[in-house]
Amino acid sequence: MDQAISIDQLTKKYNEKTAVDNVSFSIQKGELFGLLGVNGAGKTTLIKMLCCLTAPTNGCASILGYDIEENQKQVKEIIAVSPQETAIAPNLTVRENLELMAGIHGYSKMEVKEKTAHMIAAFSLQPYENQKSKTLSGGWQRKLSIALALISEPKILFLDEPTLGLDIIGRRELWALIEKLKEKTTIVLTTHYLEEAEALCDRICVMKDGKVKAIGTVKELLSMTNTGNFEDAFVKIVTKEELG
C-alpha cells in the first residue's frame, strides 16, 4: 500500500457553517504535501479531523489503512501534530519539555533519556537545553515544537504553519530541517507562505470555502492556470469560480 492518507467525501459542519465540504484526495507515503488556502478555507479543520481531534459530520478518512473514527487509538499512535499554537510548556526547560513529552508517550525512564538526548542532538538544541522555553526565540520555539512532535517517531507528521511569524533566516533553517525529515516521514504542511510551499512540497492542495479547488505539483498548478509563477497561479485558483 503506497497511500499514507486516504480522504473520502470528508465534511465538517459547525451548525450552519460548512468548514470542510465533501473533500476527497489521497496522500502517498513519503510525500511532503502542502495544504494551502486563504484564511478560513478549512485547512485546520481538515487536519483536526485527520488527527482525531474533531469528528467528521460526513465522509471518512484513513491513515495507513486505519479509519480515523473506528481506529482512533492506532491512528494516534502513528501520527503527530505540531499545532499552530505551540505545544510547549513555557516554564519548563527545553530538556524538561522533551522529557515530559517522551513520558506522556509511555517510554521507560531509560528511553526518555535516550530520546531526549537524540532530539537535542538532532535539532542542535544543546546550547539551549537548560533554558526555560519561554525565553527562546520564535525560531527555536518552533524547532522545539517540531522536536516534541517527533519524539514518538510518527509515520505521519502534521505541521500547521510551522514558520508563522519567523524571519527569512529562521524560516530557511526550518525548511532545511523539514526537508531532512521528509526522508523518513510523510508530512502534511499548511502554510500561508507561497514560496515555502513551492520550495518544499511535492504536491499542493488549494482549498477555498471548505472545498478543494486544485491539487497537483507546482508545475501542474501553473499549467492548469496558464500562469508563469506560483503566486499568480494561487490567486487565480482562489479567485476564479472554475478553472480551465
Ligand X SMILES: Nc1ncnc2c1ncn2[C@@H]1O[C@H](COP(=O)(O)OP(=O)(O)OP(=O)(O)O)[C@@H](O)[C@H]1O
Instruction: Give the binding site for ligand X (CB under 6 A).
Output: 14, 17, 19, 37, 39-45
- State the minimum distance, in angstroms, from the CB of residue 156 to ligand X: 18
- State the minimum distance, in angstroms, from the CB of residue 31 to ligand X: 20
End-to-end CA distance of the chain: 32
- State the minimum distance, in angstroms, from the CB of residue 188 to ligand X: 13
Using the CB atoms, write b or e for 71-86: b if 16+ within 10 Å. Answer: beeebbebbbbbbeeb
Q: Which of 125, 135, 137, 73 is closest to 99 using CA atoms?
A: 125
Q: Which contiguous run of DSSP H or E holds residue 207?
A: strand 203-208
Locate the DSSP E strands across 29-140.
32-37, 58-63, 66-67, 79-82
- Closer Cβ to ligand X, 44 or 185, answer by number: 44
- Closer Cβ to ligand X, 62 or 191, answer by number: 191
How many angstroms separate the Cα of 28 from the Cα of each of 3, 7, 155, 173? 4, 12, 12, 25
CA atoms of 199 and 65, how far apart (whole Å): 29
- Closer Cβ to ligand X, 39 or 169, answer by number: 39
- Closer Cβ to ligand X, 50 or 120, answer by number: 50
- Closer Cβ to ligand X, 17 or 184, answer by number: 17
- State the minimum distance, in angstroms, from the CB of residue 192 to ligand X: 6
- State the minimum distance, in angstroms, from the CB of residue 201 to ligand X: 16
- State the minimum distance, in angstroms, from the CB of residue 239 to ligand X: 16
CA atoms of 26 and 11, how far apart (whole Å): 15
- Closer Cβ to ligand X, 125 or 206, answer by number: 206
